Amino acid sequence: MRGLMMDTPLLVSSIAEHAEKFHPDREIVSVTMDNPLHRCTIADVMTRARQLGAALAKLGLKQGDRVATIAWNDFRHLEIYYGVSGMGYVCHTINPRLFPEQLVFIINHAEDRWIFTDVMFVPLLEKLLPQIGNVEGFVVMTDEANMPETSLPNAVCYETLIGAESADLEWPQFDERTASALCYTSGTTGDPKGVLYDHRSTVLHAYVSLAPDVIGLSSRDTILPVVPLFHVNAWGIPYSAMMAGAKLVLPGPKMGDGEALYNLIESEGVHMAAGVPTVWLGLLQYCEQAGKRLDALERTLVGGAAVPRAMIQAFRDKHDVETVQGWGMTEMSPLGVTNTLKAGLEGLSADEKLDLATKAGRGLYGCELRIVDDEGNELPWDGVAYGALQVRGPWVCSDYFKLDGSAGTHTDDGWFETGDVATIDKQGYLAITDRTKDVIKSGGEWISSIELENTAMGHPAVAEAAVIGISHPKWTERPLLVVVRAEGQDLDKDEMLAYFDGKVASWWVPTDVAFVDELPHTATGKVKKIELRKQFADYAFPED
């Protein structure tokens, strides 16, 4: 027997309608390319999103057509999220930090019809133009006063495009399984792969992320997503914040600027900020050097890479800020686990709580987890057994755009292979130990590069650290620690290695340390291990 409940589709436009009705006056503050501090309201953004929807329809777009953005986090980008998806078109966010060949590949593979761009990316697109000839036109996200001269075909100024339209549009209704957004993962091998979200997955993911043990956003909160709108939809915050009616602070091109982030947090009363560890390193360094304390901030949501213990401790002890670690992937919209304290664990000591906080987090409703060995057998949740991590759920991708199952990333019984290696403890807390490709095997035993990196980063003279496996005549592979010293510090190899004493098993201690000025990073701020391995391709351990 079927139930007798209404069948209203879960559409991105329903978030826009809700936000506009219940939280019209909530503020959205943006740093934009043409205004250091732009202020508007949810009502303004949603009105303009409808004007944009009308303008796009006039350009002849059809349901399913891809409309790309290449832009920082600001109110116009948010309007495009709603204007494009709300109409049934697909909002394809592009990471401007990718290599030109990757950008060309992505734009052509996605068959983007129009591209919305920040002024600063106009020269980049002009250079790519000969290779992206199928794009019909470009919208420059500014007003007429700041519109640059450009050779881009059919270039139109954003404010002019939407200014010509009325806001009477009613959002069309369609199947909730319709594609809403597209984001390519900047894979470390092969061509980037497109993850195609739908309206249903997006709304469900936003719903779940609002729960207190997940992101825990309410209408009383102010949130600063420093994670870019082009990186897995800024972890869904553009949707969840509008669903909750939270005040949104968007840092525009100031993502990597510790001082600018500090000023935004304090002046706008930001309670909660979200970003990858590298971003917070910059902010914490700025606070340390300038003698500043983060008074407004209560919580940071940190993910995208392992969060060093020292960072969680600095936030806690110096700024009274709680760190909520999260783990997920572009393929997972992205949330898979978040790290909050479970009932029964309140009595842990401060140090034990810190240890727990370095784990990626525990399962949230809607994303199933399992770890398996090389034969695909499920492993126990004892915090010791490690294996390939697989996930399943309504906001996990079932395939990649136009790859028709050829990526080989799904098991026969319908689970997605994350490519991460993990342990899960009795309480259900997941710890990521490595990427499958980064695992270091020494004498047949496995060493966690992430744990060594986290330990090294606990040393006050270390700014950043990465560990790679280097071939070794006796042990097959041994860990090499690559360190960037903190400014003005003179750390040497012996002191660095002595720091591991008592913190990790003695046979895990890296065999050697290499000091470098900087580590290579991916477009999303993670250490690029492939590049690092190339850099150290000719390296050999010193003979004992």
User: Could you give the residue numbers annotated as active site?
Assistant: 185, 331, 441, 446
CB 158, min distance to ligand AMP, A:
28
Residue-by-residue DSSP string for 128-191: HGGG-TT--EEEESS-GGGPPP--STTEEEHHHHHHTS-S---PPP--TTSEEEEEEE--SSSS
CB atoms within 10 A of CB 40: 16
The binding track of 38-77 with respect to ligand AMP, each residue x by CB under 6 A or -, is ----------------------------------------
The two structure tokens encoding residue 27: 């503020």
Of 353, 344, 276, 289, whose CA–CA distance to 318 is shortest?
Answer: 289
Q: 470, 536 in Cβ contact below 8 A?
A: yes
- Cα separation, 308 vs 482, in Å, equals 15
Residue span binding ligand AMP (CB under 6 A) among the ranges 69-77, 328-336, 397-405, 493-501 = 328-336
Dmax of the chain from CA atoms?
A: 76
CB 490, min distance to ligand AMP, A:
30
Nearer to ligand AMP, 172 or 419 (CB): 419
Nearer to ligand AMP, 152 or 457 (CB): 457
Residues 284-303 that bind ligand AMP (CB under 6 A): 303
Q: 414, 390 in Cβ contact below 8 A?
A: no
Does position 528 bind ligand AMP by CB under 6 A?
A: no
Nearest residue to ligand AMP on Cβ basis = 330
| Interface pick for ligand AMP out of 238, 304, 308, 469 (rule CB under 6 A) | 304
Q: 311, 302 in Cβ contact below 8 A?
A: yes
| Interface pick for ligand AMP out of 169, 429, 524, 525 (rule CB under 6 A) | 524
The binding track of 225-254 with respect to ligand AMP, each residue x by CB under 6 A or -, is -------x----------------------
The two structure tokens encoding residue 71: 């832009």
Nearer to ligand AMP, 152 or 274 (CB): 274
Burial tier of 278 (Cβ tally within 10 Å: 0-12, 13-18, 19+)? middle
CB 431, min distance to ligand AMP, A:
8
The binding track of 408-427 with respect to ligand AMP, each residue x by CB under 6 A or -, is ----------xxx-------
- Cα separation, 512 vs 238, in Å, equals 44
Strand residues in 386-497 grouped as ranges (E):
387-392, 416-424, 429-435, 440-442, 445-447, 462-472, 476-485
The binding track of 79-118 with respect to ligand AMP, each residue x by CB under 6 A or -, is ----------------------------------------
The two structure tokens encoding residue 467: 């560990």
The two structure tokens encoding residue 29: 């503050």
DSSP summary character for residue 206: H
| Interface pick for ligand AMP out of 334, 393, 479, 525 (rule CB under 6 A) | 334
Does position 358 bind ligand AMP by CB under 6 A?
A: no
Number of residues that bind ligand AMP (CB under 6 A): 18
Strand order of the β-sheet with 155-157 is 155-157, 137-140, 114-117, 66-70, 90-93, 179-185, 193-198
Nearer to ligand AMP, 197 or 327 (CB): 327
Of 372, 374, 274, 285, whose CA–CA distance to 325 is shortest?
Answer: 274
Does position 330 bind ligand AMP by CB under 6 A?
A: yes
Nearer to ligand AMP, 79 or 331 (CB): 331
Of 19, 427, 37, whose CA–CA distance to 249 is shortest?
Answer: 37
Nearer to ligand AMP, 257 or 417 (CB): 417
Q: 87, 53 in Cβ contact below 8 A?
A: yes
Residue keyed to tokens 């294996």? 387
CB 204, min distance to ligand AMP, A:
19
CB atoms within 10 A of CB 155: 18
Q: 179, 65 in Cβ contact below 8 A?
A: no
Residues 136-165 that bind ligand AMP (CB under 6 A): none
Does position 325 bind ligand AMP by CB under 6 A?
A: yes
Nearer to ligand AMP, 51 or 325 (CB): 325
Does position 438 bind ligand AMP by CB under 6 A?
A: no
| Interface pick for ligand AMP out of 56, 125, 270, 305 (rule CB under 6 A) | 305
Tell me the pairing of strands 368-372 and 299-303.
Answer: unpaired
Does position 329 bind ligand AMP by CB under 6 A?
A: yes
Nearer to ligand AMP, 14 or 524 (CB): 524
Does position 20 bind ligand AMP by CB under 6 A?
A: no
Nearer to ligand AMP, 245 or 277 (CB): 277
Contacts to ligand AMP by CB under 6 A: 185, 232, 303-306, 325, 327, 329-330, 334, 360, 418-420, 432, 435, 524
